Amino acid sequence: HPARDNHTAWLDNFAEGGHILLGDFATRHPQASLLRRLAQELAGATGATWGEVPDAANAAGASAMGLLPHRLPGGADAPAKGLDAAAMLRSPRRNYLLYGAEAPQDFALGKIAVDALRQAHVVAFAAYDHPTLHECADIVLPIGLPAEVDGSYLNALGQLQAQVGAAKLPGEARPGWRILRALGGRLEVPGFDFVELGAVSSQVAAVLTDAAVQAKPGPVNTTSGGGEGLEAAVYTPIYEVDAVVRRAEALQHTVLAGQQQLLVHPEDALALGVGQHGQTKLPNGETVAVGTDAGVARGTVLVPSPVAGRLSGLVTGTRIRLGATTTASEQG
């Protein structure tokens, strides 16, 4: 059978130096644990290796240092599991501390994040002014951007990469670690008695000596993806990934900036009656443009994060029902 022969040839080639690499869509999917397990099983069956691209600049470092609700520094299992970010937003807290994060742009649950912040006491460490700060923050502490202060990053290979601040901090801004140290000392929290960043770096290096930068097997989420509507695949446009590029005027004038268009498979567009270039109505009543791309899987709608952030609870894997549509020709 031709298809079977093609699959056999593919597996043979795959076994000779093949590598399975999970990216942003996989790691942000509600069934990410299942996708990781499938990647492991496929790699084991074919002799390939597998890995994943961290979805943020220092995600590997944060994981290795225990900044996860179920891990301790070095990757050990925590004796008691805390709440993850989504849980702290879905079940609003009385207090939030934001560090360099802007809502809704930097949250997968953008609208839910804004709603939670509105009803809480918020202390924000921020390098830029932002509308949400005016609306939600009780205290704003100005900090430098990552490139402006000393620090270190852990890459996907487990290598610690140090940097020196590249610019003088403007106005009253201070390195974020200094403000955290001062607050921790004032609150008498253990571990905040260091004076220089080098002391922290030494502790980090000691922890990383025994830490492995890898995704560990965990509980597999087998939630069904059934339901009406198209399955959303949310992505972050390249010039929306952080506060710096969102404010880079030259980048925001490129064709890759300001992506607000949904993308669907041409056959799904035909079924929706939207044509190649039309509009559709979202569940919140908003009308957005719809384009077509044969590379989008049938039954899927590709949603840019700025649009997803305006819809409550819309993340990759959830279903979205697109409302009444119009085509470009109907609009005249």
Is the pLDDT score of 332 beyond 50?
no
Q: In this predicted structure, which of 12-26, 48-62, 156-170, 216-230 has the lowest mean pLDDT?
A: 216-230
* Mean pLDDT of the region 259-285: 86
Q: Residue 210 has which token pair?
A: 């025994």
Q: What is the pLDDT of residue 137?
A: 96
Residues 279-307 have pLDDT tens digits of 888 888 888 999 999 999 999 999 999 99
With beta carbons less than 8 A apart as the criterion, state whether 123 and 97 touch.
yes
CB atoms < 10 A from the CB of 261, how many?
15
Residues 70-112 have pLDDT tens digits of 888 887 889 999 999 999 999 999 999 999 999 999 998 999 9
Q: What are the φ and ψ backbone dihedral angles of 319, each rounded to 5 degrees?
A: -95, 145
In 162-292, which residue ranges form alpha helices assigned H by DSSP?
Answer: 176-186, 197-208, 243-246, 249-252, 266-272
CATH topology of domain 59-74+82-208: Rossmann fold (3.40.50)
Q: What is the pLDDT of residue 66?
A: 87
Residues 133-145 have pLDDT tens digits of 999 999 999 999 9
Q: Is the pTM of this model over 0.85?
A: no
Residue type, 174: R
The separation between the first and the last C-alpha atoms of the chain, rounded to the nearest angstrom, is 50
The residue count for the chain: 332
Q: At a CB cut-off of 8 Å and minimum separation 6, what does 186 contact?
A: none
Residue with tokens 């009780």: 138
Is the pLDDT score of 242 beyond 80?
yes
- Going by pLDDT thresholds of 50, 70 and 90, the confidence category of residue 17 is confident
Q: Residue 47 has which token pair?
A: 């002799």
User: How do the domains of the chain map onto residue ranges?
Assistant: 2-52, 59-74+82-208, 230-327
> What is the chain's mean pLDDT, rounded?
85
Longest distance between any two alpha carbons in the chain, whole Å = 72
Q: What is the pLDDT of residue 53?
A: 84
Q: How far apart are CA 179 and CA 141, in angstroms?
A: 8
With beta carbons less than 8 A apart as the criterion, state whether 64 and 75 touch.
yes
Write a three-state SS string for 33-98. HHHHHHHHHHHHHHCCEEEECCCCCCHHHHHHCCCCCCECCCCCECCCCCCCHHHHHHCCCCEEEE
- % of the chain surpassing 90 pLDDT: 40
Partners of 50 in the β-ladder: 20
For domain 230-327, the CATH architecture is: Beta Barrel (2.40)
* Mean pLDDT of the region 107-132: 94
Q: What is the pLDDT of residue 3?
A: 57
Q: What is the pLDDT of residue 331?
A: 46
With beta carbons less than 8 A apart as the criterion, state whether 176 and 140 touch.
no
Higher pLDDT, 326 or 242: 242
C-alpha radius of gyration, the chain, whole number = 23
- Going by pLDDT thresholds of 50, 70 and 90, the confidence category of residue 312 is confident
Q: Residue 19 has which token pair?
A: 């590598």
Is the pLDDT score of 221 beyond 60?
no
Is the pLDDT score of 186 beyond 60?
yes
Q: Residue 221 has which token pair?
A: 């989420």
